[in-house]
A = this chain, B = another copy of it.
Amino acid sequence: MNKLEIPDIIISRLPIYLRALRHMKGEGRLTTSSQELGAAVGISAAQIRKDLSQFGGFGKQGTGYDVSFLIKTLREILKVESVWNVAVIGMGDMGHALTRYQGFTDRGFRVSMVFDNDPAKIGTRVGDYVVTDMKEIVESIQSSKIKLAMLCVPASAAQDVTNLLIKAGVTAILNYAPISLNVPAGVRVQYIDPSIGLQRMTYYID
């Protein structure tokens, strides 16, 4: 499988399918159809069939998709069949919330280090973690080979911290700061921005 051949837009939909399939499995479902999966995620059945066909044939005409097999395969494709360590940077409200978030379990991630630059926070515990001094960020992340970070610092500090994360070898950043980050090729950023989520809905409110 050549990763250059699969368009980003398809990869970006696979986690959505995976979440819906896990939900179905939790309800005891063994099989599903592209129609049903499409209804669950708000994407057309044709698009789902087309997306999944990129990775070989999953469904059989008439019997549909095996839920567990499709979950297993999507996890392999997305490389979340095991657990990635993630660093959380910035122990404000959002960093706190993420460090204690229960939604990563069994989805491929665990928080493994947390950082802040506030002397009053360094050395204190948040959930199961002791807050490490931001000064040690490059060395700590490098030595633990962490590739993923969740960035929860103020917008004014976000680019500088991003530069440190990249120096440390991080290649995937989930950015909670309300600012666009400049990153070199080979580093990915996903934005978590509640204003964007809300702005995607107000258009439709009469």
Query: A3 to chain B: which residues have CB within 8 Å?
Result: 203-204
- Can you spell out 22 A-B residue pairs with CB atoms less than 8 angstroms apart? A3-B203, A11-B200, A11-B204, A14-B199, A15-B195, A19-B195, A23-B180, A78-B203, A79-B202, A79-B205, A92-B97, A93-B93, A93-B100, A101-B194, A104-B194, A148-B205, A171-B204, A172-B202, A174-B194, A190-B198, A190-B200, A191-B197
Number of copies: 2
Q: Select one of B18, B98, B204 contacting A199, CB under 8 A.
A: B18
Query: A100 to chain B: which residues have CB within 8 Å?
Result: 93
Interface size on A, residues (CB 8 A): 58
The chain A residues found within 8 Å of chain B, CB to CB, are: 3, 11-12, 14-16, 18-20, 23, 40-41, 77-80, 84, 86, 92-94, 96-98, 100-101, 103-104, 107-109, 147-148, 150, 155, 171-172, 174, 178-180, 188, 190-205
